[in-house]
Amino acid sequence: MLLGERMPAEDEMSINERRKYLKRMRERYWGSDRKRRGELLSEMEAVTGLHRKSLVRLIRGATLERKRGRRVRGRSYGPEVEDAVRVIWESLDYVCAERLTPALLPTAQHLAQFAELSLTAKLETQLARISRGTVQRLLGKLSQDMPRLPRRGPERANRLTRTIPMGRLPWETSEPGHFEVDLVHHCGPVAVGEYVHTLQLVDVATGWSERVAVLGRNQQAMEAGFRRVLDRLPFPIVQLHPDNGSEFFNNHMIRFWGQEIVGLKLSRSRPYRKNDNRIVEQKNDTLVRAYLGYERLDTEAQCESLNALYDQMWVYYNLFQPVLHLASKTVVDGRLKRRWDKARTPYDRVMGSGVLGQHQQAQLAVMYTQTNPRRLRREIYQELQQMWERPNPQRTRRELVGALTS
């Protein structure tokens, strides 16, 4: 075969033969002068059938060894795991993978008691060992059969508040009973007249949350709201940490708290610093606004309906919804690194804290055992739907002001 003439198709080299040939030619190539290298490249081009630039890239490369193909892993988890994750994910209202993964096995065992899930020994083993990354990929594939609920969108310190220390509750608080407190307004487009508010308390250590609907924010309404919380809360309040609102800091409420809560500590957030109440502010969005939006609620019937809804949410979110708690904060190379603990439900955190008596532990355990979280979630949606179906005429600002001044 003449120099520069291409090899016939039937005589083409295999990949291994071509690599062996180029290994030998590379030694001759690097030992030759520039003119001879050009001749060798022409020869290799004719022998191998490769383009001249491809030959230069191979000759000058670090190795001519053939790269091993990437080993393709088989599926570790079949459709039965995917179906189980879908049911558990729906039951827990589509929480993130970080919160869902540690709750898979206990929730599956609980749902199996109510025949919501068929649980085998093999499936239990798989749910116990599945990693967070695998769960995250599964959640990316799963479509939400039932979409989440639609989302609808300072005062100067008086003499009394000057005596109350300002700041924020430490994130590393481990003792249950330290509550951030806030009041969510359901006034609609304009804050005139009397309307419904949601009084919300969130425990920093355990994530335990309390919600009560009150009509107005006068002394009687606020006392009734706090009294409802105290009657239901399974552990004592150690500290209350609201914002600077006058509905919290007045002589009537200070006297009421002193009579109803022994040894209570009071603190408050700094003016215009919402992050001082960061935990309850987050829950205002996910547990109040996500359900109710920014509609106006101003009747006694609506207040009663909202409290019925909050009674169901009290069981669902405190007993079955796993929450994350900040475990550590460190600064590495000038950047803040946060590490979160294993997601657990407020119920699990409170039961393991040692603050409950035997009677309280038994009551909560019975409630947990006898409650089907998937059915309870459906009932919450139904109660919410029924509440919005009741007559609720929306009035403009002019109509509201006119009704108040007439």
Q: What is the DSSP string of 262-277?
A: TT-EE-BPPTT-GGGG
Pair 128, 263 in one domain = no
Express each pLDDT in 96-120 by its tens digit: 999 999 999 999 999 999 999 999 9
Hey, how many other C-beta atoms are within 10 angstroms of the C-beta on 352? Answer: 11
- Confidence bin at 155 (pLDDT 50/70/90): very low
329 has pLDDT over 50: yes
Rounded to two decimals, the pTM is: 0.72
Are 261 and 339 within one domain?
A: yes
114 shares a domain with 49: no
Does 178 lie in the same domain as 253?
Answer: yes
Do 235 and 320 have their domain in common?
A: yes
Distance between CA atoms of residues 326 and 330, nearest Å: 12
Q: Are residues 177 and 123 in the same domain?
A: no
In a domain, 114, yes or no: yes
Same domain, 122 and 182: no
Distance CA 221, CA 203 (A): 22
Angle between helices 121-129 and 104-113 (to 10 degrees): 150
Q: What's the domain range around 134? A: 95-141
**Which of these three, 111, 141, 171, is where a domain ends?**
141
Q: In total, how many domains does the chain have? A: 3
- Residues 222, 339: one domain? yes
122 with 203, same domain: the answer is no
Per-residue pLDDT of 262-298, as tens digits, reads: 999 999 999 888 889 999 999 999 999 999 999 999 9
The domain that contains 182 carries what CATH number?
Answer: 3.30.420.10
Task: Let me know whether 134 and 165 are in one domain.
Answer: no
Q: Identify whether 155 is part of a domain.
A: no
Report how far residue 341's alpha carbon sits from residue 19's, in angstroms, rounded to the nearest whole number: 53
Q: By three-state DSSP, how is residue 16 classified? A: helix
Instruction: Classify residue 237 as exposed, middle or buried by CB count within 10 Å of its CB (0-12, 13-18, 19+).
Output: buried
Instruction: Please report whether residue 1 resides in a domain.
Output: no
Tell whether 237 and 319 lie within a shared domain: yes
Q: Do 367 and 315 meet the contact criterion of CB atoms below 8 Å apart?
A: yes
Tokens of 291: 């359900």
Are the beta carbons of 284 and 182 closer than 8 angstroms? yes
Task: With respect to residue 84, please indicate whether it lies within any of the assigned structural domains.
Answer: no
